[in-house]
């Protein structure tokens, strides 16, 4: 989200702008939150207010549970989202990794594992590899590292 899209006011609460159908719409929320995460620092509380405004845009918190991260990125950036389904070993996967690696500072990326029981709270399925099917992940970094044998390993850091 662009910094100019968020305004703070002592009495008014917070204002967020989300993109919808070619236009920016403003949503104001008060400072009351349904809950606070334990140990949440002051510089992270804006995330909860953004989520509150996003829930207001979609009429409830329940309506923003699950779904595709690509649409959320469009809503907060006004940019274009592209959704691709990838399979390990698919043709072009190495070229895609190199594109991501070389351009990672120029875009925002989210990733999910298709599956689960249809999206929403409680539908994520824990996989043997430690990831959750039906969960959306944020891309943090792509890197290439050499192992002890000199082999290059391609790594993607997600949260």
The tens digit of pLDDT for each residue in 31-60 reads 888 775 555 566 678 888 999 999 999 999
| Residue 117 pLDDT exceeds 60 | no
**The pair of three-digit structure tokens given for residue 106, joined into one six-digit string:** 């120029």
Question: Which DSSP category does 61 fall into?
Answer: S
Inter-residue contact 19 to 74 (CB < 8 Å): yes
With b for 16 or more beta-carbon neighbours within 10 A and e for fewer, the 48-68 pattern comes to: bbbbbbbbbbeeeeeebebee
Give the predicted TM-score (pTM) of the model: 0.66
Strand order across the beta sheet in which 13-20 lies: 6-9, 13-20, 23-29
Inter-residue contact 17 to 4 (CB < 8 Å): no
What is residue 5's predicted lDDT score, i.e. its pLDDT?
41
Inter-residue contact 105 to 141 (CB < 8 Å): no
User: Cα(107)–Cα(22) distance, rounded to whole angstroms?
Assistant: 20
């Amino acid at each position: 989200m662009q910094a100019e899209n968020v305004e703070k006011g002592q009495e008014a609460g917070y204002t967020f702008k989300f993109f919808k159908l070619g236009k920016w719409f403003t949503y104001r929320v008060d400072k009351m939150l349904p809950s606070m995460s334990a140990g949440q620092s002051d510089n992270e509380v804006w995330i909860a207010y953004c989520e509150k405004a996003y829930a207001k845009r979609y009429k409830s918190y329940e309506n923003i549970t699950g779904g595709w991260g690509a649409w959320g990125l469009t809503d907060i950036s006004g940019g274009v989202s592209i959704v691709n389904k990838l399979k390990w070993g698919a043709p072009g996967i190495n070229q895609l990794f190199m594109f991501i690696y070389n351009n990672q500072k120029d875009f925002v990326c989210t990733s999910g594992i298709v599956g689960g029981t249809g999206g929403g709270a409680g539908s994520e399925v824990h996989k043997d590899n430690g990831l959750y099917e039906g969960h959306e992940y944020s891309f943090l970094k792509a890197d290439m590292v050499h192992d002890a044998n000199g082999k290059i390993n391609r790594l993607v850091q997600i949260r």
